[in-house]
Chain A
């Protein structure tokens, strides 16, 4: 079982200059999913608002078909790397588990969360130092991003299964989502709304990453490239 104390404002971070946090598969997954999501958002909007009509014979063009194909391909990629990432949560290092297990039961977690909130609202002068995620980031990563990712995969494949039809794996595995959310059009709407969650998350994510990189005296951006978190003091 994951020990909260080992991961949070962790002692290692107090003593070491650098920690190996993100193993190669995590880094690879991160960048693949980031690219997939960018493609999904872009093609997703094109699906909602198709580009101006092309002329000529219908059989001469497959423009919208390709846009949708790109979406579905990126959707598959996202789903596959997400599954692999879950696997890595079991076999990877402790930091790899942070996305999926948030120590909500720990008082210390909440104390540090409070500190992090104060830090973000300028009430505290400095953040705590972490190898992995700070409590606030971890919370968002798990409960906003990962939940949304699962939701987008479930709704995405439910919609995909409408095309592949009764008995296709997507329909069997995710078809139940449709009546759950009402009907097919409602699933589109929720899937579309989820897109905005992804966009909003990414905005915050990028801002926080850049900001922390500058202000928190620890490496952030380069960590997702090299895997090492380095501390500047």
Chain B
């Protein structure tokens, strides 16, 4: 069986540079050089783990991103590191020959294969908004998930629902963790995720034979533990108070911070600002557009991508925090003014009717037929208990 080591050796790479590769890999995974020998051993000896890559409702950008991987090359991942036995987008077989592969691998490699899911299942219309082999995709997903060792949720579709799940989510597209509940799921969000993040997550799982440590939302900490903003190279402009105020203004040309034109870097967890995209060439912010938060849950339904103060959809109300809060405050202000006016009116009337002035002093002009007793006593004191009524 060909292993990754074989590949490298055959391509004229020496043992020495192979070891070097392993320690580089270890470093880039944030593991330290002590892990290098383990990586080397894993790459030298392991048979390839079958990966079944299913597609639900999606746009295939995750597959497209995956094949952009530069280290490792997508070619090497597919030919030497794992066995991509099923993937609608790349596989030679179709129709029942394709289906037969799923039957074979799920039976032969029960509990050993990794299920990778791109896209998500729609639940409305009995699942028939996404049909595969004449049946709802959800059936296929559940069936293949049943005996998988672990599940990878590629992209924001599988992780959160993504664009098809944006309001009103006409197909009831549902992230996979809501339908696969008995398996560890590694979410690799992003629309799409960065290529090398995808291949690193897979190689991590193959190398260490375990899933990476996940954060509270099920994402690998090593890549999703920090926000774009935490390591954005425009951060000094943010702190200085230097912002792009309008597109193509002087600040835009000087690379100022994109916060005022809606950058969601402060709220988005993804390694875009560090690993960057397409072999580190750039990332959204470096090319002048704010982050739209494509790695975040429900980023489609937060209102405009160009606003910092975004939409809120709660209690059946839609509007941004300032519109809702401002309206409440304005109503309150008006109510206070009206109440103050009424209070003044009432007091003016009281002055004439009660025989007490504003400060409760006797005015000597009492017109109260009950006579003598102060209004406070009338109102407040129960005759029997002496307490407030």
Determine direct contact between A and B, CB below 8 Å: yes
Question: A residues within 8 Å of B by Cβ?
Answer: 5, 8-9, 11, 14, 48-55, 58-65, 67, 111-112, 115, 120, 122, 124-129, 162-163, 165-166, 175-176, 178-179, 182-190, 192-193, 195-197, 199-200, 203-204, 207, 211, 214-215, 217, 232-233
* B93 sits at the interface (CB 8 A): no
A233:B376 contact, CB within 8 angstroms = yes
* B387 sits at the interface (CB 8 A): yes
Closest Cβ neighbor of A120 among chain B residues: B339
Instruction: Name which of B9-17, B109-117, B272-280, B321-329 contacts chain A.
Output: B321-329
A51:B241 contact, CB within 8 angstroms = yes
A64:B239 contact, CB within 8 angstroms = yes
Q: Which residues of B contact A53 (CB under 8 A)?
A: 241-243, 245, 251, 256
8 example contacts (A-B, Cβ-Cβ < 8 A) are as follows: A126-B379, A162-B230, A190-B312, A192-B321, A193-B321, A193-B324, A211-B343, A232-B359
Q: Contacts A184-B267, A189-B312, A190-B321 known; list 10 others, CB within 8 Å.
A: A67-B241, A125-B378, A126-B379, A162-B227, A199-B325, A203-B333, A207-B336, A232-B360, A233-B360, A233-B374
**How many A-B contacts if CB must be within 8 Å?**
179
The CA of A120 and the CA of B340, in the complex, are separated in Å by: 10
B336:A204 contact, CB within 8 angstroms = yes
The CA of A185 and the CA of B290, in the complex, are separated in Å by: 14
Closest 9 CB pairs of A and B: A196-B325, A9-B388, A63-B241, A184-B267, A65-B239, A64-B241, A192-B321, A58-B236, A61-B240
A58:B376 contact, CB within 8 angstroms = no
Smallest beta-carbon distance B318→chain A, Å: 12
- Mask for B365-389, Cβ within 8 A of A = 1, else 0? 0000000001110111100001111
The CA of A217 and the CA of B386, in the complex, are separated in Å by: 19
The CA of A111 and the CA of B326, in the complex, are separated in Å by: 33
The CA of A173 and the CA of B387, in the complex, are separated in Å by: 46
Q: Which residues of B contact A165 (CB under 8 A)?
A: 225-226, 230
Smallest beta-carbon distance A189→chain B, Å: 5
Instruction: Name which of B136-144, B191-199, B293-301 contacts chain A.
Output: B293-301
A126:B325 contact, CB within 8 angstroms = no
The CA of A196 and the CA of B325, in the complex, are separated in Å by: 5
* B169 sits at the interface (CB 8 A): no
Q: Which residues of B contact A54 (CB under 8 A)?
A: 240-242
Partner of B325, one of A59, A182, A195: A195
8 Å CB interface, B235-288 against A: 236-243, 245, 251, 256, 259-260, 264, 266-269
Smallest beta-carbon distance A85→chain B, Å: 25
- Interface hub of B299, B347, B359 (most chain A Cβ within 10 A): B359
What is the interface residue range for chain B against chain A? 35 or more
Q: Report if A179-B389 is in contact (Cβ < 8 Å); known contacts: A129-B376, A185-B267, A197-B325.
A: no
- Interface hub of B251, B321, B324, B374 (most chain A Cβ within 10 A): B321
B321:A189 contact, CB within 8 angstroms = yes
Q: Report if A11-B386 is in contact (Cβ < 8 Å); known contacts: A196-B321, A215-B343.
A: yes
Closest Cβ neighbor of B234 among chain A residues: A58
Q: Report if A196-B328 is in contact (Cβ < 8 Å); known contacts: A61-B240, A64-B239, A182-B298.
A: yes
Q: Report if A14-B381 is in contact (Cβ < 8 Å); known contacts: A48-B308, A189-B321.
A: yes
* B216 sits at the interface (CB 8 A): yes
A193:B359 contact, CB within 8 angstroms = no
Partner of A11, one of B227, B347, B387: B387
The CA of A163 and the CA of B309, in the complex, are separated in Å by: 19
The CA of A8 and the CA of B378, in the complex, are separated in Å by: 18
* B350 sits at the interface (CB 8 A): yes
Q: Which residues of A contact B124 (CB under 8 A)?
A: none
B340:A211 contact, CB within 8 angstroms = yes
B325:A52 contact, CB within 8 angstroms = no
